Structure 1
Amino acid sequence: MFNLVRNEWEKIFRQISTYIMMGLLILILIVTAGMMKYLDSKEKAENQDWKQELMAENENLKQQHEDMQIIGPKDLIEQEIAINEYRIKNDLPPVEERTVWTFINDSISLIPFAGLFVLIVAAGIVANEFSWGTIKILLVKPYKRWKILLAKYFTVNLFLLLMLAILFVCASIIGAVLFGTGDSSSNVHLAYVNGQVKEQSLFLYLVKSYALNSLSVFLLAAMAFMISAVFKNSALAIGLSVFLLFTGETATKLLASKFEWAKYSLFANTNLMQYIDGMPLVDGMTLSFSIWMMILYFTIFQILAFLFFLKRDVTA
């Protein structure tokens, strides 16, 4: 198995596109950090009376809240109002000195871009073998088909870990250079849990958030891998998985505001941060429910991938 995984790993790094994807991810981080550095300098000069600004913002948010036709405990406006009031009451300015840790926290929003490159690899790792005609050479080797496919899937997940590691390490280096390590006492995250605002360690929140925000990429990579194995079409796998990566969560939120059955969809359950922040997408959803739903989807993806790959005739 180790030799199979190593062989797949070498295949990935023999392609120039792999290095281009890594370079693009690092470039996006650098550009993001530069923009944040520039915006921070402007905010420090302009944001003097932050309490008055937060009170005015809360008035606008309350007006928006009253104008909404659908209001529920998951309402993001309620969360923002509560956090603003907590800042005013406890003298916690919303614009604090940015540090390496806060920049890593901001870099979490770039996980979908890292996931985009992982989906490209997952979508092509099986389908390309068929389109290039190398699948016949691969299958004549003294390995069972399930081991060959499993090695490919292991390689996809190793590449996912590599891209996440690049994102985290580069964010740490760039953040330390541009923003410094800062004061540990200022690294506080405000979370809205069970209708109350609570202070959390930013570092611990960061670790949980980084891991949990990667779940959607992990499951979409499994889906792209399945489509690649079932349909032998990398374009279909890439197109569908990338479309769902950037629109699936938004579409699910719209459905969840009207239909309770939306809680059974994949994207209603991949964001486990909704339980950390205390705001489930649909009333009645629990952490265990979302975990079981993800296990169900993952199992379906794997069964389909292995079933079709093991039964497919490639002798023609």
Structure 2
Amino acid sequence: MIGLVQNELIKIWEKKNSWIFPIILVLALIGGSILEMKMTPQYKGDDWRGSVQSEINKLEKQLPTAQTEESLMKSGKDFNWDETKEAIQMKIQDYKSNLEKDVSPYTTSWSNMNGMVIGMKSLITLFVVIICAGSVSSEFSDGTIKQLLIRPHKRWMILLSKYIAVLIYAAILIVFLMFVGYLVSIAFFGIGSFGDNVSIMGTSGEVVASGGTLFLKMILYYLPGLLLVLSLSFMLSTLFKNQAIAVGIGVFVLFVSSTIGQMIQMLATEYTWLKVLVFPHLDQTIFVFQDKIIETVTMPMSLGILFIYYVLFMAITFLFFQKKDVSI
């Protein structure tokens, strides 16, 4: 089995796109960090609280002489909204809120890492779907399936080795994202403390937690959905001999799953049976922000539904491959 897995990994890394995908991740991480630097205020010192308090004091001095938006509009003169009394009061309130929550308003390495997970998880899933959906179908498209099956190994072992190989590739991409993402974040925003609080806006409001803990939690909660999408793509790769069809359907399902999931969440109160459909359960990171997806659907229940679909996909995959005609 080890030899079969090694052989499948060699096949994966022989493809150009297997190397292009990590390069795209690096470029996306660097580009995202540059954009973050331009969009948010930066402060690399250790005493961010002192810097925030200084900003509050400076703004409070400006407040007595600042004019309201209404008075400036009546004057008919051009004005900068950021200099109005309302804008200054809002900034002061935001800064005071940062001090109360002990969350730096400036971008830190761990706040960038958490934002990166949200931004890059769809990209990794897309790369995995493309590799996975072509793993078996490409053997038929290239005409190499017969050479593969004449070896003294049972069909299920050959198929399992392919599945393990794509799992390893997916794991490599995730580890690569974490490692390179951390290096890029340090390069742009300095070394931050694992325990520093960060703030992330979720579907049900703001979440304040330790940056390092939240990052690891986001990665962990991302894995079940990735595994199911990977397994679905692998099943499609087994069902279709045409690689383009398998990849196309896999990518299509990936892009529409989020929209369909949101629609199901809105309709589930009226149609209870919609709760058991797979789409709302693919993104488990939602449980970082809230306890339930739909009414009474908690994380254990959601994982149970994903597990049932996983078993179904795997059963279809291996049973179909066992009986599949390999004539080309």
TM-score when normalising by structure 2: 0.76
CA distance in 2, matches of 1:8, 1:197: 44
Tell me the CA shift for residue 185 of structure 1.
Answer: 5.9
Cα deviation code 1:160-180 (max 9, x no counterpart)? 001111111111000001101
Q: Is the 1:29–1:107 Cα contact (8 Å) retained in structure 2? A: yes
Query: What is the deviation of 1:211?
Result: 1.8
RMSD: 3.0
Mapped contact 2:43–2:106 kept (Cα < 8 A): no
Q: Is the 1:216–1:267 Cα contact (8 Å) retained in structure 2?
A: no
Structure 2: how far apart are the matches of 1:197 and 1:29? 24
**Cα contact 1:252–1:262 (8 A) shared by 2:** no
Q: Is the 8 A contact 1:217 1:245 kept in 2?
A: no
Structure 2 SS opposite 1:200: strand
2:249 equivalent in structure 1: 240
1:5 match: 5
CA deviations on 1:18-41 (whole Å, 9 max, x unpaired) are: 111221111111111111111124
The separation in 1 between residues aligned to 2:309 and 2:34, in whole angstroms, is: 39
State the alpha-carbon separation in 1 of the partners of residues 16 and 240 from structure 2.
Answer: 25
Structure 1: which amino acid aligns with 2:16? I
The match for 1:265 is 277
Give the whole-Å Cα distance in 2 for the aligned partners of 1:40 and 1:242: 33
Are positions 1:111 and 2:116 aligned together?
A: no
Residue in structure 2 matched with residue 162 of structure 1 by the alignment: 172
TM-superposed CA distance for 1:220, in Å, is 0.9
Q: 1:185 to 1:13 in 2, by over 3 A?
A: closer
Match of 1:249 in 2: 258
Paired letter, 1:278: Q
> Which letter does structure 2 place at the counterpart of 1:125?
S
Residue 149 in 1 paired to residue 155 in 2? no
Shift of 1:265: 1.7
**Contact preservation (8 Å) 1:101, 1:175:** yes
Q: Give, in angstroms, the shift of residue 107 of structure 1.
A: 1.1
Instruction: Tell me the secondary structure at the aligned position of residue 91 of structure 1.
Output: helix
Partner of 1:209: 218
In the TM superposition, residue 196 of structure 1 has moved relative to its aligned partner by 9.9
Aligned partner of 2:100 among 91, 107, 113 = 91
Aligned sequence identity (%):
28
Structure 1 residue 184: Cα displacement: 5.4
Gaps of 5+ in 2: 45-54, 61-92
1:4–1:209 Cα change, 3 Å = same
Give the equivalent residue in structure 2 for 1:218: 227
Q: Find the partner of 1:101 among 98, 110, 113.
A: 110
DSSP 3-state at the match of 1:13: helix
Which of 257, 272, 285 is residue 297 of structure 2 equivalent to? Answer: 285
Q: In structure 1, how many angstroms separate the alpha carbons of the residues matched to 2:297 and 2:134?
A: 35
- CA 1:249–1:8 in structure 2 vs 1: closer, same or farther (change >3 Å)? same
1:246, CA displacement in angstroms? 2.6
Matching residue of 1:55: none
Could you say which residue in structure 1 is the equivalent of 2:18? 18
- Which of 125, 128, 135 does residue 125 from structure 1 map onto? 135
Counterpart position of 2:319:
307
Aligned to 1:135: 145
Q: Aligned pairs, how many? A: 280
TM-score, scaled relative to structure 1: 0.79
Q: 1:32 maps to what in 2?
A: 32
CA distance in 2, matches of 1:212, 1:204: 12
State the distance in 2 between where 1:179 and 1:291 align: 36
